[in-house]
Structure formats: C-alpha cells, structure tokens
Amino acid sequence: MIDLTLSEIAAATDGRLIPGSADAGLVVSGVADTDSRLVTPGDIFVAKPGEETDGHLFADAAVANGAALLIVERELAVAVPQIVVEDSVTALGALATEVITRVRALGRLRIVGITGSNGKTTTKNLLAAVLERVGETVSPKASFNNEVGAPITMLRVTNETRFLVAEMGASGIGEIARLIRMAKPDIGVVLKVGLAHAGEFGGIEATVTAKTEMVSELLPEDVAVLNLDDPRVAGMADATRARVLWFGLDDRATVRATDIVATASGTAFTLHLPDGSCAAVRFKVLGEHHVMNALAAAAAAHELGVEIDLIVDGLQSVSRAERWRMEPLGGRDDVSIINDAYNASPDSMSAAIRTLAQIGAERGRTIAVLGAMSELGDWAGEEHDRIGLQVVRLGIGRLVVVGPEARRMHITAINEGSWDGESVYFATADEAFAYLSAEIAPGDTVLVKSSNAAGLRLLGDRLGELYA
C-alpha cells in the first residue's frame, strides 16, 4: 500500500481516529486484511463482523502479530491506534478507492477488470503472468473477487505498480458495479455467462445484467474484451461505449486460436492477434476449455502493448489454472489424478468431463469422481441429470458419485441403460476414497470435480498423495 497517515486514513474511511499514544501524522503503509492470522508487522487489521464470528474478537491477536492500525466498528481496549467506522467493509472499500485514486493520478497505473461465470481466476493468473514480464503487477491471491477480497487486493497497489488485474465476482446485481466504483477498469473482460450462481441471481437473465456491469460504465477510450463465442456476452457490445475487442474460436474474432490439440500434458494452439501476428503456444494448463481464458488474457495484454513473444512466454509459464483447478497430481503406476474440485458449474463440469474423455482415451481407463454443483436453485435437478447423461455418452469408464446432493447424477447414469455397474454412489468422501484406493489401476486417469461446498478437493488431494 502507499504511505498514508492515520488522519488521512480516517478521512478516507469517514471514521473517528483514536490515535492512543501515536501521533495522527503517523505513516502507515502495511497491507490490510480481515484475518488476524495473516497480519504481519505494520499491517492494518479490519475487524469484520461475520455470520459465524466477529473479527473484533481477534483484535488482540492482530495486535500481537504486529498490526499498526485497527479499523473497527466499536472502540476496543487495544494499545495501537484504531479508527472507528460505521461499517468496516464499506470502510475497506473506501480506503481502496482512495489508494487507487492517488496512484491513478500519477498516470502510470492501468487496470484490467475480469468477470464471468467461469474462468475468472485462471484468466487472472494467466494475465498476471504475462504482465509481470513488463512491469510491477498486482493481482488477487486465490479468488479474492468480492467486496472484501477485491479491495484487499487493490490496497496492495504502490506508486510503482503499472498493472492491477482485478477479478470481480458477484452473486447479485450491483456487486460488480460497486467494485468498479473502487477501481474503474481501462479494460473490462467478460468471459462467459452460464448457470454458475444462477440460484443466487434468480435466473440467467439476471446473471447477464450483473455481468454487463463490467462494461456498461466503460468510457469511449476504454476497451471491452468480449467472448464472441458466447451470445450472451457478445450482446454486451450494445451496452458499452468502449471499443470492443473480440476473442474466441469464431473466425470473426480478432484474437483467436486455431490448430487446437489437447493432450494429457496440456493444449497446443496457434494464437492470432489483431495486428496480424501469430505464434504457436504450448499451453500446460489441462483442458481445451482453458484456451478461451488464454485468449482473453492475450487480448488484454495486447491492448496494454505487450509483444506477442512475451504473451506466449507468459502463457506457457503457467502450469496449472490454480490450486484445485485442473491440478495434475499422482504419477505413480502411471495413474493421473486431476483435482478440479474447488468450484463447479454446469459449464465447467461439462468441460472437465470432456477433457477427461479427450486425454484419458490416449492413456487407458477414465474415472469421473463427481460431487454436487452448488447454487443452481431450480436448475439443480436438470443440470445434474445432464451431467450424468454426458458421462455415459462420452464413454467414461467409471462414474463415482459422492454426496446425497449429487446422487441424481448416479441415478440418471444408471437409467441411461447402457451401463451395468459402471456407476457407483457413496454418501461420504471417506467411503469413496476406500473404494477408489482398491479400484484405481495402473494407467487410469481420474477426474475429481465438484463445487467447493462438497469438499471433494480434499479427496483429490488424498488420491494425489496415494499415487505420488
């Protein structure tokens, strides 16, 4: 974070400063966090009330870890300065806005905002890997993309930062717009609109409205990077004043991929840019569907003036999408475990199963270990049915369904009528692990896929360790 005095932070957050023994002119430049365990000397601790606990209860731990300042909603008996605000999350956003505004005034910082139902974190990682080759780049850790995580990322910006890559998620209309008010992008990227979180949004059209917020506030001198292959995203061109840069596999896209070949070691393709340049890319991230994320990252980087050789170098340097996202594990006895159980929507689940069918066919038997897809609301039953059918029709060798919320996939696969015992169901991950430990054979390729809430990422880790 940039240097700010206690009084400047209090003014930015509209809070009441209680300096204690410190002077109001004391300079603070540490990063902010809402987790006291992550606080290091000089940091700002933001005490955020939660559904299960209250951050104020951990203020003493934050001070013990070296917090230089607390932002709180009620005055505490602590030995460090504190700023009392009405709402700590709102104050966190206001502080991020102040920092971004000051750094923006220096004329160096360029901001890229990324949203979409799937692929935000992967695209963020790919773009950051490219931009880091050009200048200081700040991007979110993990999936810091909400009203808390996004401003925490923004507060890591310094006067030397050239690029901020902001992942912007939402579970309702207005949430992306709120993040954009903190840090308006020069380039807004929309990847895909699907059924992820459709239950929270209230339907696909509400999802479209929410994601459109990424480009609706862009200025004529800004750029909207849009997926030409997704009709819902392509329609957003009518909602922005910005210049539109299309990416996709469609021949009309100005940033596109051709000659795509997916294998167990990654995906090869030819990258084409608007200036007519092209280059071969040997992309290590598993799954042909991640090529679209690579194209989005390449499009944004190209608009920021990055040469194609650096774009390719950055893309090729990324070996996995993110922890628990198409993460290759195992290796012993030629067993390959793909742990993709951090998140799951109908689109990402379908893409992962297609990848399993593609790369497993060249190795041996394929096993899909699947859990529930969360936050689908009224679409849950139908979408779990569709996945069960897809597993059968793609010829996956064995389906292992885990958890009562996902059992419908197992029933649907059985009812398809083409299998005899190839689908099994277990209520718990421990039961599934015991079965798989005895079932997996040399040469098998195993996909573990579910929403985070299903907890199968830990099952994937256990299988990876078993076959390491």
Query: Does 159 show up as a binding residue in the annotation?
Result: no
Query: Does 119 show up as a binding residue in the annotation?
Result: yes
Strands (DSSP E) contained in 101-254 are: 110-115, 137-138, 163-167, 187-190, 223-227, 243-248
Query: Does 122 show up as a binding residue in the annotation?
Result: yes
Strands (DSSP E) contained in 173-326 are: 187-190, 223-227, 243-248, 255-263, 266-272, 278-283
Tokens of 255: 């940033």
3-state secondary structure 322-371: ECCECEEEECHHHCEEEEECCCCCHHHHHHHHHHHHHHHCCCCCEEEEEC
| Residue found by looking up tokens 């070949």 in the block | 261
C-alpha–C-alpha distance, residues 12 and 97, integer Å = 9
Query: Does 117 show up as a binding residue in the annotation?
Result: yes
Looking at residue 49, what DSSP letter applies?
B
CA separation (Å) from 83 to 18, 47, 49, 76, 157?
6, 11, 15, 10, 22
Following CA atoms 395, 398, 399, 402 in sequence, which dihedral angle do they give, to the nearest 10 degrees? Answer: -160
Query: Does 120 show up as a binding residue in the annotation?
Result: yes
- CA distance from start to end of the chain: 40
CA separation (Å) from 213 to 185, 198, 236, 271?
11, 17, 9, 29
C-alpha–C-alpha distance, residues 355 and 366, integer Å = 11
C-alpha–C-alpha distance, residues 383 and 409, integer Å = 9
Tally of residues, the chain: 468
Identify the three-state secondary structure at position 280: strand
CB 382 within 8 A of CB 423: no
Query: Does 48 show up as a binding residue in the annotation?
Result: no
Beta strands 336-340 and 327-330 are antiparallel
**Other C-beta atoms within 10 Å of 141: how many?**
10
CB 299 within 8 A of CB 190: no
CA separation (Å) from 79 to 35, 46, 368?
19, 16, 54
Binding residues for ATP: 116-122
Binding residues: 116-122
